[in-house]
Structure 1
């Protein structure tokens, strides 16, 4: 997902489709186009920090420091998660795993739809016994094999339709270990409208829509923070820690 402001086509919440990919009337076909366009975009992106951050590789340090501070605050909670296993969603080349998660958890699994990125990740992360399973999968199709203390999802949720967003987080909710927490870090619009990035086939949602979709997945926010120190031309970025409203599967 590109990090900078896009004043492009506004789209309906149910499915993000660019002007040149208008709905055909077949919902499955439209969703397939939406995902295929994103896959094609990321296949062309180099497996580098600058590549996965859309040319903003220089913000990585600030991003990680903000994430580390937020994660440490979660570990200060009375019912804090344990540190046995984490999942890095939309992991790319493993930037967040290497710079953040692997410093806190005994094992970190990665899920990423771009096979080239997944193959590159072990080289980027370096030799460690903390790297767990690597999954080549879109989040809309991912089925976890483990229970997780923390599930981290950053700059990837705009590639999911609303229906798959909800489905994915129900899956994540049911994959949490005792006291487990889901953390998302995402761009949000500064207006009530969704904004579409036609280049990489992703959407940026307003904060209230993110929270509404998460609630529909049975999740409630327990802590929220705004990332600071980014260039002004970037979208606002929110970090949200979530826990299940209840343990029942929807």
Structure 2
């Protein structure tokens, strides 16, 4: 993959392969990469401010933009925007249940949470207990999995939507691909992924402290292709403070979107078109 990058210590990498070889090139290094990543978050407070890196103020614009995107997708994929259906979602990298509580649980009857940091998941259990929710009893947090993405295999055909936000950067490229290969089987027919992540403006940026990588749009698209995923729609985050990484949402399908045939007659070749 001809994409260059750098890290916070001034190291330059000619390609992701060069960087991954240095960081996760053998079993010991890869184990350290994932242990150190979880270890970083184990030292973070289980609060909005903690999981948002000291920027608790981005919670509201984050949820507003995500909800607008989700509403658009519901209208396209679910009859009557999902009314009278039993819908199930998986919240990957769920943290303290922030996205589930503020968004997903209002749209899905069941939400499963996947989070490798145990004290975040315990906080999520409390935050999503029935007494702390303002939704009907038909909507609930169903399962809490204290498992990292690279080790998780979903139940076959359980989910309408798998939501992956601010966590995929912890996966090395090979684990990124294998995660989506396993996760595809967890989708119901017609189900889809939503990936929401920070974007590097070019190439990639390695964070040595929390063991994560910020990929560019080009980098993501190359990985989506390797996963056999197809972009249905994209939306950029709005309303974040200046100085933060740009953030983009991708709606990803396991099959190529069907092209709608145009009803307009084809223009005959070698004849001028009419200028209107």
TM range (shorter): 0.7 to 0.9
Find the partner of 1:85 among 56, 76, 88.
88
List runs of 5+ in structure 2 lacking aligned partners: 1-6, 257-276
Distance 2:88 2:22 in 1: 41
Q: Deviation of residue 126 (structure 1)? A: 3.5
Go from structure 1 to structure 2 and tell me whether the alpha carbon gap of 1:149 and 1:232 turns closer, same or farther (over 3 Å shift).
same
Find the partner of 1:214 among 209, 217, 224.
224
Distance 2:23 2:199 in 1: 25
Distance 1:140 1:95 in 2: 22
Indicate whether 1:190 and 2:189 are aligned.
Answer: no
Indicate whether 1:151 and 2:162 are aligned.
Answer: yes
Distance 2:72 2:197 in 1: 18
Q: Deviation of residue 188 (structure 1)? A: 0.8
Residue 102 of structure 1 corresponds to 105
Go from structure 1 to structure 2 and tell me whether the alpha carbon gap of 1:16 and 1:99 turns closer, same or farther (over 3 Å shift).
farther
Structure with the greater alpha carbon radius of gyration: 2
> Aligned Cα RMSD in Å?
2.1
Runs of at least 4 residues of structure 1 off by over 2 A? 6-12, 14-17, 21-24, 78-83
Find the partner of 1:13 among 13, 16, 21.
16
2:154–2:185 Cα contact (<8 Å) kept? no
1:10–1:194 Cα contact (<8 Å) kept? no
Residue 27 of structure 2 corresponds to 28
Q: Deviation of residue 16 (structure 1)? A: 5.1
List runs of 5+ in structure 1 lacking aligned partners: 1-5
Q: How many residues align?
A: 236
Distance 2:197 2:209 in 1: 18
Query: Structure 1-normalised TM-score?
Result: 0.88
Distance 2:171 2:78 in 1: 30
Query: Structure 2-normalised TM-score?
Result: 0.80
